Amino acid sequence: MPVSRYVVSVLGVATICLLAWSGCDRSRETHSQGGPGAIATLHYFTWSDYVSPELIHEFEQTHGARVIVDTFSSNEELLAKLQGGATGYDVTVPSDFMVSVMAAQGMLAELDPAALPNLNTLEPHLQHPAFDPMHRYAVPYLWGTVGIGYDSAVVTPPPDSWDVLWDGRYRGRISMLNDQREVFGAVLRSMGQSMNTTDPTMVEAAKQQLIAQKPLVKTYASEHYDQLLASGDVVLAQGWGGPVARAMRDRPSIRYVVPKEGGTIWADCLVVLRASPNKALAMQFINFLIDARVAARTSERLLFAASNREARAWIRKDILENPAVYPPAELIPRMEWMKDVGKAMRIYDRAWTELKMQ
Amino acid sequence: MWLRGISGLSLAFLYLPIIVLVVFSFNASRLSAVWQGFSWHWYGVLRHDDALLAAAANSLWVAALSTSIVVLLGVPAAMGLERLRGRGRRSLETIFLLPLVLPEVMMGVALLLFFVMIRWPLSLATVVIGHAAFNLPVVIVMVRARVQKLDPRLEEAARDLGASAWQTFCRITWPLVRPAVLGAALLAFTISLDDFIVTFFVAGPGSTTLPLRVYSMIKSGISPEINALSSVLVLSSMGLVGLSLAFQRR
């Protein structure tokens, strides 16, 4: 069996090479954990698209550290992973409401303001956010709004209210987020309610409205609605500003509006985990990420707004003036932060399931 | 005629999505739904995506190490089971095969709870152990199938002619079961490479594998880069499975 013998030897050599490589890798890691002049390693747990290799590389160069990135795809996944016992991460990026949840569970380390000089130049509305007014645990990183992306070539006149999502003329060409809080939030706002209501009758009324809307909805999607907009499959999409701004690049007639009833404002925040072994380095890393120029580059790439107001000076004008990325200042007071509704989550869960089953 | 039609349909059912996926990996457009001409662009993007390459390295690692572990444990276990006589054998067999029918989610949760309980920090090592756990029955089943078919007279003859137990194993038994072992190893390697569920539960810092990475990439929009990556994965997995089958046919 000459062929099989050949394969065996190849596999054998490959295994030995792998093992040797493993040895090198391990020795590098042990080296990095102790001794003078050793390289510190920082574990950064973030959203999959949030990190650009160049920025990580720059931080590694300037701070003589090694950064290992792992990614998650939802706040719930992040929480589950940390609750499940994953330790060893240093810095992570929960959204606003998840900061409160994680802080309440004692997962977060207190920040050291002295190590975070860039905290002083936050956007005004992010200086004392309700979920963490004194920045005890969290530093806002990127922020934005939830509104409506629409194709101005089809949708006329330009919509200014959530009601357009109930317009029968666009039957089958509407997409909603696949996110119960956001979908109910939009209806509750259009009913003049808070999107954080815990009143079961309000949630029930919102559910009835959503059931009435369902025949018009092509899909509930949180991921690829930018592609649906760009390809023309939908002409109205409830969505985050960033992806809508991305769709504008492929189809210039796409516009973005935050309805007059207001919508969600969100911020993804940098936090240090309580179990982090490298807290000082973690703070340096956070300060680096919210530095005006670094944040401006991130902002331009992701089309989300930067938390550092000085970043505006470094961001391209067309992006800065795009309402999908930077909402106009007069809108901010109309926006609402999503809050953890605690036990009332069960009401939303049930209403959402009922809606989906219709 | 009918049968052919039905097998054709089931083949199409199985492979059409994969073909569409591969075709669109050559799409020049960023949008996965609109065809804008042929391009290798996304394969270029793939080659320069450091995070993805790191995840791929992790995956290869985990697959290589967990496969080595299951072969070292599984082959002796399979042979031992064959030799075992009496009532213990049946129950032992069942216990070994149970993980095959256990839902993977349960397996993942159980492993996670176990690691947390013994305070073993989640890392690449825990992923390797997790993969070894679900691949062990695979190897045992495949190797046993071969061992059962061995003619015991061959070994007896060898011993009769004066070979020691070790010589018998090296000259007679091992060459006969080797194809099955290689086949099982390749299959275990492939399963480990593609596994998502168990990995999802037991992965810790710095141990993002390829499937985990792909899953989190989908969240930020389905870029044709994922198509390109999946095409590479599908082709290599098919190759490995083909090799595994080829070994078993001997």
B247: nearest CA in chain A? Answer: A4
Q: Which of A48, A81, A234 should one mutate to test binding to chain B, selecting the residue with the greatest count of B CBs within 10 A?
A: A48
Q: Is B112 on the interface with A (CB under 8 A)?
A: yes
Q: Is B29 inside a domain boundary?
A: no
Q: Is B122 on the interface with A (CB under 8 A)?
A: yes
B110: nearest CA in chain A? Answer: A84
Q: How confident is the model at residue A186 (pLDDT cuts 50, 70, 90)?
A: very high
**Among A16-20, A63-67, A88-92, B63-67, which is the least confidently predicted range?**
A16-20
Q: Is B184 inside a domain boundary?
A: yes
Of A18, A43, A243, the CB nearest to B205: A43
The H or E element that residue A110 is part of is none
Q: Taking the domains of chain A in order of start, what are their residue ranges?
A: 36-143+267-331, 144-265+333-357
Q: Is B42 inside a domain boundary?
A: no
pLDDT tens, B49-103? 888 888 889 999 999 999 999 999 999 999 888 888 777 788 888 888 888 888 8
Report percent pLDDT > 90 for chain A.
Answer: 69
Q: What is the mean pLDDT of chain B?
A: 86
Question: Which CATH number goes with the domain that contains B91?
Answer: 1.10.3720.10
Burial of B106 (0-12, 13-18, 19+ CB in 10 A): exposed
- 8 Å CB contact of B221 and A69: no
Q: Is B89 on the interface with A (CB under 8 A)?
A: no
Average pLDDT score over residue span B187-210: 90
Q: In sequence order, which residues have a C-beta less than 8 Å from that of residue A279 and are 6 or more positions away?
A: A90, A109, A112, A272
| CA-based nearest distance A192→chain B, Å | 31
Of B68, B217, B222, the CB nearest to A48: B217
Of B51, B221, B222, the CB nearest to A69: B51
Of B116, B182, B220, the CB nearest to A48: B220
In whole angstroms, give the CA distance from residue A299 to residue A312. 10
Q: Is B75 inside a domain boundary?
A: yes
The pLDDT of residue B216 is above 50? yes
pLDDT of residue A37: 54
Q: Which of A28, A33, A227 should one mutate to test binding to chain B, selecting the residue with the greatest count of B CBs within 10 A?
A: A227
List for chain A the helix, strand, coil content (%; round to 5): 50, 20, 30
In whole angstroms, give the CA distance from residue A230 to residue A244. 9
**Total domains, chain B:** 1
- 8 Å CB contact of B222 and A87: no
In whole angstroms, give the CA distance from residue A24 to residue A33. 15
- 8 Å CB contact of A88 and B123: yes
Q: Is B115 inside a domain boundary?
A: yes
In whole angstroms, give the CA distance from residue A193 to residue A204. 13
A224: nearest CA in chain B? Answer: B221
- 8 Å CB contact of B123 and A47: no
In whole angstroms, give the CA distance from residue A287 to residue A270. 10
Of A47, A53, A89, the CB nearest to B205: A89
pLDDT tens, A82-96? 887 777 899 999 999
Helix, coil or strand: residue A204: helix
Token digits for A72?
């998650």
Q: How confident is the model at residue B249 (pLDDT cuts 50, 70, 90)?
A: confident
The pLDDT of residue A340 is above 70? yes
Identity of the residue numbered A221: A
Average pLDDT score over residue span B153-182: 88
Write out chain B residues lying below 8 Å of A1, CB-based. 250
Q: Which of A43, A44, A50, A71 should one mutate to test binding to chain B, selecting the residue with the greatest count of B CBs within 10 A?
A: A71
pLDDT of residue B159: 87
Q: How confident is the model at residue A23 (pLDDT cuts 50, 70, 90)?
A: very low
pLDDT of residue A2: 46
In whole angstroms, give the CA distance from residue B36 to residue B30. 9
B108: nearest CA in chain A? Answer: A84
What is the fold, at CATH topology level, of the domain defined by A144-265+333-357? D-Maltodextrin-Binding Protein; domain 2 (3.40.190)
In whole angstroms, give the CA distance from residue B124 to residue A38. 22
pLDDT of residue B117: 87
Q: Which of A301, A331, A338, A330 is nearest to A316 (CA)?
A: A301
pLDDT of residue B195: 92
pLDDT of residue A29: 41
Q: Which of A38, A39, A94, A98 is nearest to A68 (CA)?
A: A39
Report percent pLDDT > 70 for chain A.
Answer: 89
Write out chain B residues lying below 8 Å of A231, CB-based. 31, 33-34
Residue B111 belongs to domain spanning: 50-249
Q: Which of A294, A330, A329 is nearest to A315 (CA)?
A: A294
Q: How confident is the model at residue B217 (pLDDT cuts 50, 70, 90)?
A: confident
Q: In sequence order, which residues have a C-beta less than 8 Å from that of residue A109 and are 6 or more positions away?
A: A137, A271, A272, A273, A274, A276, A279, A282
pLDDT of residue A6: 53
How many Cβ atoms sit within 10 Å of the Cβ of residue B19?
A: 11
Across A133-137, B27-31, B204-208, the highest mean pLDDT is recorded for A133-137
pLDDT of residue B71: 94
The pLDDT of residue B109 is above 70? yes
Q: Which of B21, B61, B18, B59 is nearest to B212 (CA)?
A: B59
Please answer whether residues A268 and A132 qualify as being in contact, where contact means their C-beta atoms are separated by less than 8 angstroms.
no
Q: Is B219 on the interface with A (CB under 8 A)?
A: yes
Q: How confident is the model at residue A295 (pLDDT cuts 50, 70, 90)?
A: very high
pLDDT tens, A274-294? 989 899 999 999 999 999 999
pLDDT tens, A214-268? 999 999 988 889 889 998 999 999 999 999 999 999 899 999 999 999 999 999 9
Please answer whether residues A267 and A130 qualify as being in contact, where contact means their C-beta atoms are separated by less than 8 angstroms.
no
Q: What is the mean pLDDT of chain A?
A: 87
Report percent pLDDT > 70 for chain B.
Answer: 96
DSSP bridge partners of A95: A268
Q: Which residue has the higher pLDDT, A151 or B95?
A: A151
pLDDT of residue B84: 80
pLDDT of residue B222: 64
Write out chain B residues lying below 8 Å of A48, CB-based. 213, 216-217, 219-220
The pLDDT of residue B221 is above 70? no
In whole angstroms, give the CA distance from residue B199 to residue B95. 23
Average pLDDT score over residue span A156-163: 92
Identity of the residue numbered A270: L
- Superfamily name with CATH number, domain A36-143+267-331: Periplasmic binding protein-like II (3.40.190.10)
Provide ipTM, 2 decimals: 0.70
pLDDT of residue B14: 87
pLDDT tens, A322-336? 999 999 988 899 899
Q: Is B213 on the interface with A (CB under 8 A)?
A: yes
Helix, coil or strand: residue A43: strand
Q: Are strands A254-257 and A138-151 parallel, antiparallel or unpaired?
A: antiparallel
